[in-house]
Structure 1
Amino acid sequence: MAERPWQKRRLQLWLRHHSPVALPLALLLLVIGGWSLKSAVQWLGRDADSASPALRSKLQGMALESLESVSGPPLRGTLYMGIVIDPDRILNPEAYGDLNKRVQSLTNAFRTVHPGVTVQVQLFRSDSVIPKLKARVRSGLGPDLLVASGLIAGDLHAMGLSDSVQLTTQEQQQFHPASLARLRLPNGRLSGVPLLYFPEVICFNRSKVKTSPATLEELLQASAEGLRVGLATNPINIYWTAGALGANQALVTVMRGKPLQPELRQRLLGWLRWLQSASLQQRVTFYADQGQVLDDFLHDRLDWISCSSTNFSTLQRQLGPRLGVATMPSGLGGEPTPISRERVMVLGKGSSPDQRRIAKAMASFAINPLIQRSMTIGTFSLLPVNRFVPPPVSSSSTLEALVESQRQSNATEPLLDLLHAGDPRLEALAQTLVQLVFGALSPEAATEALIRDLRPLPSLQASR
């Protein structure tokens, strides 16, 4: 729906006399009128400031109370915000520009409600964030708020690089229980606050194949007919095939340190046999690095890959309408098990009282329903963590694929509960898969290697 200036002006004048119902109306316009995040927040905030100061309090009142009370003096100061980037995220100048626009959209909206705040953002690579944070915290220059993978939130707290947060029972109901369980500390507090999901899906070139293969059998058949397939051996990127071939339960059983029954052993062996068989196909290429998979897809050397929705903007810019998005293929073992990437907000260490108030206010602002839904429909590349904000799947086949992938990812929760960032078993799994697909290990030898190497280490068992 196009925004007509005279209509917006009339609504602004109406605000002066009807502010008590303005916020519900704005939410309605956002949902059915297609307003952008900028338009909705500007209308709620800056455009109505002089007429209705109480309206700003209504938007603030949507915040989580335990994170930041709406009472107290106005927020003033600088928020130092860090964002952790995945190693397989495309980071060319255009991608940096897209990320900057998204961050600025959120921070500008936040400053509409809190004009006395400025926000400075710094990016960290996930493979180097720990040492860099340690150095910054020691020097008193750590971020006040860090957006990072949910897998490292607990590690950051254990290392003394972040502070915990406390949510009331009512506030916790806004999130899926599994998301909070992974963030819960022994004292009941949380190592971070969930922010959003980036599901793992299939990206394919519509000029080469009209629809994505629905099953693994169809995928190999399409490859035999000319479809160029790219897969990474990184466990996060390849785990979806384990579910499709019925091996996910076997992997979880081994990682829990429990005996593997013959049936589960056969499923694990069957998965590894399929991977090796696929690697022998002429047009199926396995990569040790997901970044190379993305690069070859961007440069028309591959037609079909698995990809995180974090890279949608770059892929869409390059391929335009040729980019297709679909869920992973199923297999004889059932549905695929894609691993969705959850982003959480972590409170930094050593913030001043004012900076801590701002960090909490930003966290609560980012997860209120209006902002969560706006981020979703503004990019079509992420999903909200607030379970009371259903994505409008009827408006986008891409969102429909993301939602279905997120549902399928629920089956990976037992695995994620057993892992943390830097878990040596992930590296062991990756190395075994690399040796398997490049012919250095047989499926039988790889099965024995995984049973041996994926069992919990004594240090990991003691920490749980």
Structure 2
Amino acid sequence: MVVQRIGLLAVGITLTACSNTSSKQPTTLLRVARTLPSSEAVTTADSERDRKLLRQFQVSVREVVPGLQLQPSLYTQKSIESELRRQTNSGLGPDLVISDASTIHALFEARVLDPVPLTKEQREAVAPALLKRLTNDQGQVTGLPVSQSLQLACYDKSKLTTAPASLQELAKASGGESVFGIAQNFEDLYWSMGSFNAGPALVKSLRGETPTATETHQLVRWLGWLQNTSFQQNVVFLRDQPTLRRQLIQGRIDWISCWSTQLPQLREAMKDQLGVSVLPAGPAGQATPVSKLQVWGLGRNSSQRQRASSEELMQFIVQPWAQKTWSLRYRTSYPVNPVAAAIVNSQIPGTDDLYLMKSKQGILIGDEIMANLDTNPQLNAGLQDIINDVIFGTESPAQAAGKIHNLLKRA
């Protein structure tokens, strides 16, 4: 669903439009601002990669939007709000902004983005639960979901013959010489909640209800697993995915929780040593990975022509052909369009296991939780503080469960 390195520009490579545009066709310049995933710094290599893909994208989409030219700029998630606020106040803000759901919400609240006027076709092209994650309390759609990145397990096949299929197998393997790495922020940890069926307790609290004793017990079990796992010698909790990725590449860690958008960098560095699998199941069932959304937002300084071109692109990019072609070509993202998702499932063996949760109820629970966190950064930060206290051993699982309930029911 984060933002991901293939982003907007990679979509263009998948298109097969004619590049011959009449010299009389008026040019439309769109300024595109994009963020890298959280904790990622913008490098020269990132900028060069975007410029290269941009040239290919411009050629490819000229039949869709004739005369289109794109001017890219990369930002960190920490810097983008202040930068775009300054640009927008001076009348030079971007036409399109590409980031994750929570960042797009924050930019919208900062008044540097306009609401997205979705057409009937766009609403039908995007799974309703994903649109909900981009809809604020006033019913405004703050951005258009374009793709999903998915949670996986990535491992070094020279160190592990197979990835652990269960948390019990992970614990057994970590008791030997294998080292396992897990990102400690809640979004990256959510997959493990399903292994303990801990999601219903959070949903009840978010709805202002009191979880049952059984639901609370499952939440405490999950928090207990986090704490116990953090005390194991060969399991490391790290703050961010880039650090996990680097340590896997460097051979310091043998297995990590990862995101599908990290696969190009991992494949480039690890070659045939890279293994990819589903995340391990637990005592209560399968892991329940959530998705990070890549979202397109509309800047406020566009001219009438620029806005029309932006909306044309947004209309096209969620249609089944573009969605399935993108996913099948790069295999680093998953469609937001249900029709395209069905095509991807039928054409990639094992995708149904790798990309999708089996439980529809699990999907609904995850979407409801993430929708609340995406639209409420303070709630997300409060929940993260409690999770950190559990991992570091300064809060008992039972105490933390009570604090989570009180935090969420006030949301």
CA shift in 2, pair 1:369/1:102, >3 Å: farther
Partner of 1:107: 58
Q: Are 1:295 and 2:268 counterparts?
A: no
Partners of 1:145 and 1:192 in 2: CA distance: 10
User: How many angstroms apart in 2 are the aligned matches of 1:101 and 1:224?
Assistant: 46
Residues 203 and 365, structure 2, Cα contact 8 Å, conserved in 1: no
Task: Say if 2:133 and 2:375, in contact at 8 Å, map to a contact too.
Answer: no
Partner deviation per Cα, 1:94-136 (whole Å, 9 max, x = no partner): 5555555444443331235445221101112222322222111
Of 389, 392, 408 in structure 2, the residue corresponding to residue 438 of structure 1 is 392
**Change over 3 Å in CA distance of 1:186–1:427 after alignment to 2:** closer
Q: 237, 260, 276: which one pairs with 1:309?
A: 260
- Distance across 2 between alignment mates of 1:40 and 1:292: 34
Report the CA distance shift for 1:365/1:385 in structure 2 as closer, same or farther (over 3 A): same
Shift in Å, 1:259: 2.0
| CA–CA separation in structure 1 for the residues paired with 2:278 and 2:54 | 27
For residues 159-170 of structure 1, what are the structure 2 equivalents within 5 Å? 159-170=110-121
Equivalent residues in 2 for 1:61-460 (5 A)? 76-89=27-40, 94=45, 96-184=47-135, 190-390=141-341, 391-393=343-345, 396=348, 402-404=354-356, 409-420=363-374, 423-457=377-411
How far apart are residue 92 of structure 1 and its match? 5.3
Query: Any idea what SS the aligned residue of 1:131 has?
Result: helix
CA contact (8 A) 1:234 1:290 kept: no
Map 1:38-77 to 2 at 5 A: 38=13, 41=16, 44-46=17-19, 76-77=27-28
Q: What per-residue deviation string (whole Å, max 9, x for no partner) do you get for residues 305-357 of structure 1?
A: 11112211111111111111112111112222222011121111021111111
Deviation digits for residues 345-390 of structure 1 (CA, Å, limit 9, x no counterpart):
1111021111111211222232233322232223210112222223
Other structure's SS at 1:419 match: helix
1:414 alignment partner AA? E
Once the two structures are superposed, residues 369-423 of structure 1 have per-residue CA deviations (whole angstroms, 9 ceiling, x without a partner) of 3322232223210112222223545665685565325986554111023223562
Superimposed CA distance per residue, residues 60-118 of structure 1 (whole angstroms, 9 cap, x where no aligned partner): xxxxxxxxxxxxx9662211011122214586555555555444443331235445221
| Residue of structure 2 in register with 1:62 after alignment | none
Partner residue, 1:33: none
Q: Aligned AA for 2:202?
A: L
1-side partners of 2:288 and 2:305: how far apart?
Answer: 43
Cα distance per residue 1:30-86 (max 9 Å; x no partner) = xxxxxx975851xx4237x79xxxxxxxxxxxxxxxxxxxxxx96622110111222
Contact 1:326–1:398, Cα closer than 8 Å, also in 2: no
Matched residues in 2 for 1:93 and 1:376: separation? Answer: 26
Task: Look up the equivalent residue of 2:409 and give its one-letter code.
Answer: R
Shift of 1:258: 2.3
8 Å CA contact retained: 2:201, 2:219: yes
Aligned residue type for 1:441: E
Distance 2:124 2:46 in 1: 34
Percent identity of paired positions between Structure 1 and Structure 2 = 27
| 1:396/1:252 CA distance change after superposition, 3 Å | same
Hey, what's the Cα distance between the residues in 2 that align with 1:154 and 1:39? 29
Q: Secondary structure at the match of 2:181?
A: strand
- Residue 278 of structure 1 aligns to which amino acid in structure 2? T
Scaled by the length of structure 1, what TM-score is found? 0.77
Structure 2 residue identity aligned to 1:336: A
Distance 2:56 2:320 in 1: 16
Name the residue aligned to 1:16. none
Q: Where do 5+ consecutive residues of structure 1 fail to align?
A: 1-35, 51-72, 458-464
RMSD: 2.9
Q: Distance in 1 between matches of 2:273 and 2:251?
A: 11
Paired residues of 1:327 and 1:404 also in contact (CA < 8 A): no
Distance 1:378 1:99, change over 3 A: farther
Corresponding residue for residue 20 of structure 1: none
Aligned-residue offset at 1:192: 2.0
- In structure 2, what is the Cα distance between the partners aligned to 1:396 and 1:93? 34
Using a 3 Å threshold, how does the CA distance of structure 1 residues 184 and 438 change in structure 2: closer, same or farther?
A: closer
Q: Secondary structure at the match of 2:356?
A: helix
Q: Give the 3 Å change call, closer, same or farther, for CA 349–39 of structure 1 in structure 2.
A: closer
What is the deviation of 1:153?
3.4
TM-score w.r.t. structure 2 length? 0.86
Distance in 2, matches of 1:412 and 1:39, equals 30
Cα distance between partner residues in 2 of 1:188 and 1:39: 33
SS of the residue 1:214 aligns to: coil
Count of aligned residue pairs for this structure pair: 397
Q: Once superposed, which parts of structure 1, at least 4 consecutive aligned residues long, lie more than 6 Å away?
A: none
Shift of 1:219: 1.3
1:189 and 1:427 mapped to 2: Cα distance?
A: 24
Equivalent-residue separation in structure 2 for 1:450 and 1:403 (angstroms):
29
Q: Which has the higher contact order (CA 8 A, sep 6+)?
A: 2
